């Protein structure tokens, strides 16, 4: 447990960052985010570079002013999207060539370009360009990828000129512990102010993901922030916090909300289920979010089945509030030096009979 100080505020850790891909956390206003207890959000360099363009955002006062969010913002480098949205993306030592998923136009991203774009955006924490590794991959493929990512990380550090932005390093290495050790040694030697664990939650099973995350976290300095990228479920956040990880991000709470899946202290529920048709209760009696204070499960089910826009808003508001309360409970548990007592399950058929935490 700790604090990360940024020009736009302090982040209490461990913290969960809602994903604001295109300068918005889908279906929520900045006021909604604050009401949920959100401290920091994540923006996406790839998407903002393509639309509306980083120069436009810079000319309009930077990403904070553009989206009217006065708290901390972390932006990723866009590397994951370059490779996941472009089957024909081509990598050389110099950088990555890719086509826009919007209009097919050709673009070329170098490590220096990734820093330039993020500098224009004005985010508080920025990430170096790396080469995300497909899963599964061979040892040789993982080694080549991590070495390229290390060379790109060095170029990003050399291109980084903004003292108000913290550039984190990213550890790669696939699902191989020895390569994770090699990558961590190289990246830590570059002396970044924080470190991310990349290349996980890309198709491997949960136990392997957690094993690699735990192994990698132990290789990173305890006095600097550790960020597990793209993870995950409430159970993953609890497990990661127990490993000493400080920051998490994932689209799960917002994407699930739009699909009608809501998180509660007793697991997930599907709002489409017929048993909620006449249910007068809130989603979660332990939740004090606007949704749970004002609306019944029956109403939320009606909105979702009627394809009303309000459904996305109320569902997302609840899920983000749940995630933030979950992280606060984890922080409180760490502060009180109590053992974790997980009462949330990924299996909606299982209903644990305990409170969230002791």
Structural contact between residues 343 and 354, judged by C-beta atoms closer than 8 angstroms: yes
How far is it, in rounded angstroms, from Cα 15 to Cα 12? 6
Is 284 assigned a catalytic role? no
> Which residues make Cβ contacts (< 8 Å) with residue 68, sequence separation at least 6?
30
- Report phi then psi at 227, rounded to 5: -125, 120
- Which residue(s) pair with 196 in the sheet? 170, 227
The torsion angle over the Cα atoms of residues 215, 12, 336 and 251, rounded to 10 degrees, is -60
Is 191 assigned a catalytic role? no
- Which residue(s) pair with 249 in the sheet? 17, 231
- Report phi then psi at 185, rounded to 5: -60, -45
Say how many C-beta atoms besides its own lie within 10 A of residue 12's C-beta.
17
> Which residues make Cβ contacts (< 8 Å) with residue 2, sequence separation at least 6?
13, 225, 246
**Active-site residue among 32, 76, 124, 246?**
76
How far is it, in rounded angstroms, from Cα 104 to Cα 87? 12
What are the tokens at 330? 């984890």
**Active-site residue among 32, 124, 246, 249?**
249
Cite the active site residues. 76, 249
């Amino acid at each position: 447990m700790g604090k990360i100080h940024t020009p736009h505020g302090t982040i209490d850790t461990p913290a969960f960052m809602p994903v604001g891909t295109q300068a918005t956390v889908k279906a929520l206003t900045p006021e909604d985010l604050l009401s949920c207890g959100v401290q920091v959000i994540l923006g996406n360099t790839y998407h903002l570079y393509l639309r509306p363009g980083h120069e436009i955002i810079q000319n309009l006062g930077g990403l904070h002013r553009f989206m009217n969010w006065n708290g901390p913002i972390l932006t990723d480098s866009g590397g994951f999207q370059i490779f996941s949205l472009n089957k024909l993306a081509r990598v050389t030592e110099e950088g990555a060539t890719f086509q826009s998923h919007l209009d097919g136009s050709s673009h070329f991203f170098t490590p220096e370009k990734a820093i330039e774009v993020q500098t224009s955006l004005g985010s508080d924490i920025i990430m170096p360009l790396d080469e995300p590794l497909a899963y599964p991959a061979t040892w040789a493929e993982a080694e080549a990828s991590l070495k390229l990512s290390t060379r790109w990380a060095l170029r990003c550090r050399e291109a980084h000129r903004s003292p108000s932005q913290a550039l984190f390093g990213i550890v790669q290495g696939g699902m191989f512990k020895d390569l994770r050790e090699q990558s961590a040694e190289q990246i830590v030697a570059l002396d970044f102010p924080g470190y991310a664990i990349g290349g996980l939650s890309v198709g491997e099973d949960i136990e392997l993901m957690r094993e690699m995350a735990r192994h990698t976290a132990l290789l990173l300095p305890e006095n600097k922030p550790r960020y597990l990228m793209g993870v995950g479920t409430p159970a993953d956040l609890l497990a990661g916090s127990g490993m000493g990880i400080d920051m998490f991000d994932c689209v799960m709470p917002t994407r699930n909300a739009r699909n009608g899946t809501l998180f509660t202290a007793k697991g997930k529920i599907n709002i489409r289920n017929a048993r909620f048709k006449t249910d007068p209760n809130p989603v979660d009696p332990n939740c004090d979010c606007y949704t749970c204070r004002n609306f019944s499960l029956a109403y939320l089910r009606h909105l979702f089945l009627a394809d009303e826009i309000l459904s996305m808003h109320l569902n997302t508001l609840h899920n983000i509030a749940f995630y933030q309360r979950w992280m606060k409970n984890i922080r409180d548990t760490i502060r009180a030096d109590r053992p974790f007592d997980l009462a949330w399950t990924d299996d909606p058929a299982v209903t644990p009979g305990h409170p969230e935490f002791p």
